[in-house]
Structure 1
Amino acid sequence: MKALIAGAGRLGTQIAQVLSAAQNEVTLVDRDEDRIAELVSRLTIRLEAGDACQADFLEHAGALTADVVIAATGDDADNLLISLLAKRRFAVPRVAARVNDTENAWLFDHRWGVDVPVPAATPLISLIEEATGATDTVALLRLSKAGVNVIETAITTQSRAAGRTLADVALPAGTVIATVIREGQPTVPTPEVRLRPGDELLLVSHTATEQEIHAAFQ
């Protein structure tokens, strides 16, 4: 599945990480160039800086071939416009949009190209299932029904965890390593696994922030 996600805030980034971990082709876009630059070193998905409210940029980002577009910005007006462009201009089969203000919920329907309106309070698990129409993509999140963060971090030559075993890395409380992806293949994260530059780790946490987890490895 090809997914285009507009909005690289915490929600959009988590959705992108989960869909990417499930072997989907994901593009994450945001108009904040600094935010995109920050994510480049942490995510292995396609990242683009630009305004998703502009049709030309949406086309550049892959709207013509997307199976699903998820408008996950913090602005309802932007989410509606992105949804309308995705559905009317690019005929995207499935469009989901986050509803930030409940008073605007009545606007999020087929008239604006929205197939799946998602209230901001919707748990991440339900949001992804509703947006993509697939429950198997979020099997990892079934470890918990609420408050779960799926966070990805990559090991580089500059990472302090490079050359260390997983047993040597002090993880934040409430955090487990789901898998280590090495040369494109998932590896069972036993304590003896020694991290190498190029490794990607997928972690699940109930309490830790992205910054805390990245600090443990970087």
Structure 2
Amino acid sequence: MRVLIVGAGRLGTQVAQVLAAARNDVTVVERDADRVRELQDVLQAHLLLGDAGEPGLLERAGASTSDLLVAVTGRDEDNLVISLLAKRRFGVGRVVARVNEAENAWLFDRRWGVDVAVPATTPLISLVEEATGATDTVALLRLSRAGVEVIETTITAGSRAAGHALGEVPLPVGTIVATVVRDGRPTAPDPEVRLSPGDELLLVSHEATEQEIHAAFQ
């Protein structure tokens, strides 16, 4: 599946990571040059700098051949304009848009090209599920060909792993850490990095269950 994600904040980056891990062709558009530079070495997706509200940039990003567009910028007006362009001008089959302000939710419908509107508080797994039209989250994230799963866990103040180096956490057999997202920024999973409350981890495993992985950190 060809996926175009607009907005490389924490949520957009996580969606890109999960969909890229599931072997989709993912392109991410971001207007902040510093953010693009931060992600160049850590995000396994095509990165394009620019304003996706401009039809020319959406065209260069591959909107005309995309199966799915996910608009997750921090501005509702941008998400609406991008959704409308994606649907009406480029004929994208499925358009998902993030609703940042609850009072704007009524605008996010088919009139603006939005197939699925997701509140800003929607968890990552649910958003990916809505975006792809999957009805089973576990099936969605299971990489059937490789026999692995992508699992998310968040460090809290009460987590046993809080304050410990990543390399000190005994992982279940067949499990690796794909990335550590801190303050919205994905970083390479260096064994020396100390885990702090608020850190979000994406792990890949071909043997462990989700419960076993959460038990290792929580």
Unaligned runs of 5+ in 1: 150-169, 179-187, 191-200
Match of 1:202 in 2: 178
* Secondary structure of 2:44's aligned partner: coil
* 1:171 correspondence with 2:166: yes
Match of 1:67 in 2: 67
Structure 1: 4+ residue segments shifted above 2 A: 134-141, 172-178, 207-218
Q: Which amino acid aligns with 1:116?
A: V
Distance 1:29 1:69 in 2: 11
Shift of the alpha carbon at 1:214? 4.5
Conserved in 1, the CA contact under 8 Å of 2:28 and 2:47? yes
* 1:114 correspondence with 2:127: no
Identity of matched residues, %: 53
Conserved in 2, the CA contact under 8 Å of 1:172 and 1:208? no
Distance 1:112 1:33 in 2: 28
For residues 10-31 of structure 1, give each alpha carbon's deviation from its aligned partner in whole angstroms, at most 9, with x where no partner exists.
0000000000000000001101
Q: Which amino acid aligns with 1:46?
A: H
Shift of the alpha carbon at 1:123? 1.1
- Superposition TM-score, scaled by structure 2 size: 0.70
Aligned residue pairs, count: 176
Q: Which amino acid aligns with 1:138?
A: L
Q: Which amino acid aligns with 1:56?
A: G
Conserved in 2, the CA contact under 8 Å of 1:177 and 1:203? no
Match of 2:101 in 1: 101
Unaligned runs of 5+ in 2: 143-148, 156-164, 194-218
For residues 13-58 of structure 1, give each alpha carbon's deviation from its aligned partner in whole angstroms, at most 9, with x where no partner exists.
0000000000000001101111101100111210000100010000
Shift of the alpha carbon at 1:137? 3.3
Q: Which amino acid aligns with 1:9?
A: G
Once superposed, what is the RMSD of the aligned Cα atoms? 3.1
Distance 1:9 1:67 in 2: 22
**Which of 134, 138, 141 is the equivalent residue of 1:138?**
141
